Structures are given as C-alpha cells and as structure tokens.
Amino acid sequence: MADGASPHSDTPARPDTPANRVLAWYDRQGRRLPWRAPPGVRPDPYHVWLSEVMLQQTSVQAAAPYFHDFLVRWPTVHDLAAAPQDAVLAAWAGLGYYARARNLHACARVVSEQYGGVFPGTEKELRKLPGIGPYTGAAIAAIAFDQPAAPLDGNLERVVARLFDVRAELPGAKETLREHLRFLVPEDRPGDFAQGMMDLGATICVPASPKCMLCPLAEHCAARAAGTAERLPAKAAKKPRPTKRCVAFWTVRDDGCVLLRRRPQKGMLGGMLEVPSTDWTEAGWDADSARPHAPANAQWRELPGRVRHGFTHFAFEITVWAGAVPAGTDPGDGQWWPLDRLADAGLPTAMRKIAEHAIKHGAVPEGGDFAAIRAR
C-alpha cells in the first residue's frame, strides 16, 4: 500500500535505499494495468496468477485483451477448472506458448479441487503447481500475498545487472543477480517493489538507450558510472535457426466445412487444432512425396505462393494444397469445421495464416457465400 512520507507528515523520512527509491517512483507513476489492484487493495490471487502466466515471455499489450476475455468467461478459478480443455486452448489461441494454457487449466483444476479454490500463499506451495516456476511463484507470493519474495524476470535481470555492473553472461549470471536482488527486497511492500522494478525495466531501464536521466536509481547505478549500462546484461550467442517445410492440405467439403485436426498434447502447438499436413521437415516435399500424406482423395491444386511463419527456434514455410470432397467424406482422425465459424476454432497463428491464404486464393466451396470468411 502506498504511504510515501509527505513533507507534512510526522512519519520519519525513510532511508535512501534503492528499494525506497523504487517504491517512491512506483507510487509517483501510478501506472495502471488491467490486473493491478488500486493502491491499498489486496489483489485477487486468481487475477494475479492468470496475469502472471499470460505475461510469461509475453508483452503487456498482447496479454491484456486475453486477460479481460478470460475473466469475463471464467470469473473464478472454479469456472476455469470446470471448462473443457478445448475451450481454454481456443481462448488462448494467438497468445503462443500453448503449454502455458494446458498448465493453466491443469493448475486451475488442482486449486479448485485440492485447495478449495484458494491459492496457496507461499512461494514453496505455489511452486508445486503446474506452470508456476521460480519467477511466477515468487511474483504471486509477493504481489498477491505480500511475501518478501524476489521474482527475477527479464526486466529485473537487466535492472540488477546494470545496478551492480554484473558483466558475466546470462543465463550463467542468473544466480549472481539473484544474490544481489535478495539484498534489495524490502520487508515492507515487496509486491510493489517487484512491480516497481518491472515497471522500471519496462519504461526506463530499457534494453537499448536506457533513460538514465529519468531513473530513480541513477545515483546508485554502477553500470551508469562505468558506462556499461547500454550493453548489459550480456547474453550468450544464439544458435542459427533452421527452416522447416510442409505441405498443408486445405480440404473443403462441398457443404462448407474444412478439415481440421487436433495436434498431440506434447510438442509444438500441443493440443491445438491444425490444418492437416505432412511432417515438418528441413528437406521439404515435392508433389510425389507429399501426395500419400493427403487426408482424403481429391483433385489437389497447389495454391500460388508460400505461407511463412517465424517460430522461436525455426522458420516455417508452408505450401498449401487445396482439394474439394463430397459431403459424407470420412474425416479420419480429424474433424469437419464449418467455414463460417472458423473464427471460433481457435487456430494458432501459423494455422490461421494457412487458412487466410487458402481463402484468399478462392479455395472455398462453389456457390456458397464464403467471400467474407475470416479465419480466427
């Protein structure tokens, strides 16, 4: 809760520590985020948990609309726990890192069924739940339960590395950073301190061209004194990214349905719907090698161009074949999905691109009014 000592207050001035500077700065900013409770109000652990999972490796801007949608749809952890997994995955579609959605749902079920819907209030207990790792456990403990925990995310890594001029490479330097951070965390308002540090990293102590002139910690900052702030934290070099290719089969039934298939629970896009395709390989496919993988008998037409999509660890390049099949065609291990409800399928972005590509090239049933079909 905010109680920064005002000039007219009888409260003795707080010592000039980095934590107090961050807290004073945090109070001054008054930054509002959808999941942030007003000053002095203890936030709902369900909201804190939901937002923290959505924010894992994800920007505030991307997560915000999903956070809102989830709360409207599933106001309590019991509601989320009672939802079918397919619905949760579809609602998560487009946000990425789909294991988060599977773990979110699993976690909701544990909290609902084993904890009576009440999130545990300690880092240790939180860490046992699916999808809650070192960062998220500490963040929930600090923000929702006022525990003196020290969440260390990408923002904090950067702020702490600069504050102490830690030049060792990440991820190796992480424990060093954690040690430094431990001594900064205040007993009072640890949650606000954590959020203040994250805000600082997001708005002032940014990766390129940090705004040191505006920084409340500038006088304490060793990297600023040494002139190294701009290039910290140091990071290990990354591996080159291969390209994987496939042929995707856009299979349209003449009553206006398209064939989709659910992916296995583990691995890329686990549990999500996809456009059936060959395996994804670096070698790629020619017509003769691809044809046997088609999900149905049809006159296949290769659509012009390629769909390209960038994943974290490989580039994805898709050739789309379109084919029409009659009503009654066996979906095999897939399912027929009405084209005019494709937006409800919850396709991950790569698959949405394939669908848009096919629709753009007219691969829809003849006669019907499918011109306005939109994926997603």
Partner DNA sequence: TATACGTGGGT
Partner DNA sequence: TACCCAAGTAT
Residue nearer to DNA on the CB measure, 14 or 167: 167
Return the residue matching tokens 């019907």.
Answer: 368
Catalytic residue status for 52: yes
Q: How far is the CB of 18 from DNA (least distance, A)?
A: 18
Tell which positions 161-180 bind DNA, by CB under 7 A.
Answer: 171-172
Distant-in-sequence, close-in-space partners of 370: CB < 8 Å, separation ≥ 6: 256, 339, 340, 359, 364
Residues of span 275-334 touching DNA by CB under 7 A:
309-313
> Within 13 Å and on the Cβ side, how many CA atoms surround 331?
14
Tokens of 80: 């989320």
Q: 6-34 burial, b for 16+ CB within 10 Å, e for fewer? A: eeeeeeeebeeebbbbbbbbbbeeeeeee
Instruction: Let me know: does 148 contact 193? Beta carbons within 8 Å.
Output: no
Determine, following the binding rule CB under 7 A, whether residue 71 of this chain makes contact with DNA. Answer: no
Taking the complex as a whole, the smallest distance from the CB of residue 134 to DNA amounts, in Å, to: 4
- Quick one: 121 or 154, whose CB is closer to DNA? 154
146: helix, coil or strand? coil
The verdict on 95 binding DNA (CB under 7 A) reads yes
Structure tokens at 312: 């974290």
Total residues contacting DNA by CB under 7 A comes to 59
Instruction: Tell me, rounded to whole angstroms, the distance of Cα 160 from its chain centroid.
Output: 23
The reply to whether 153 sits near DNA by the rule CB under 7 A is: yes
Q: Can you tell me which of 55, 89, 223, 273 binds DNA, judged by CB under 7 A?
A: 55
Q: Does 43 bind DNA (CB under 7 A)?
A: no
The residue type found at 221 is: C
Asked if residue 112 binds DNA (CB under 7 A), the reply is no
Give me the amino acid identity at 51.
Answer: S
Scanning 112-120, 238-246, 332-340, 366-374 for contacts with DNA by CB under 7 A, the matching segment is: 238-246
Of 57 and 289, CB closest to DNA: 57
Residue closer to DNA (CB basis): 157 or 321:
157
Q: Is 268 in the site for DNA (CB under 7 A)?
A: yes
Verify cis geometry, omega within 30 degrees of 0, for the bond prior to 38.
Answer: no
Per DSSP (E only), the strands in the chain are 243-253, 257-262, 273-274, 301-302, 307-310, 315-325, 335-338
Q: Which C-beta is closer to DNA: that of 78 or that of 174?
A: 174
The SS3 call for residue 343 is: helix
Which residues are annotated as catalytic?
Answer: 52
Residues that bind DNA (CB under 7 A): 33, 36, 51-52, 55-62, 93-99, 103, 130-137, 139, 153-155, 158, 171-172, 195, 198-199, 201-202, 207-208, 235-236, 238-239, 241, 267-270, 309-313, 348-350
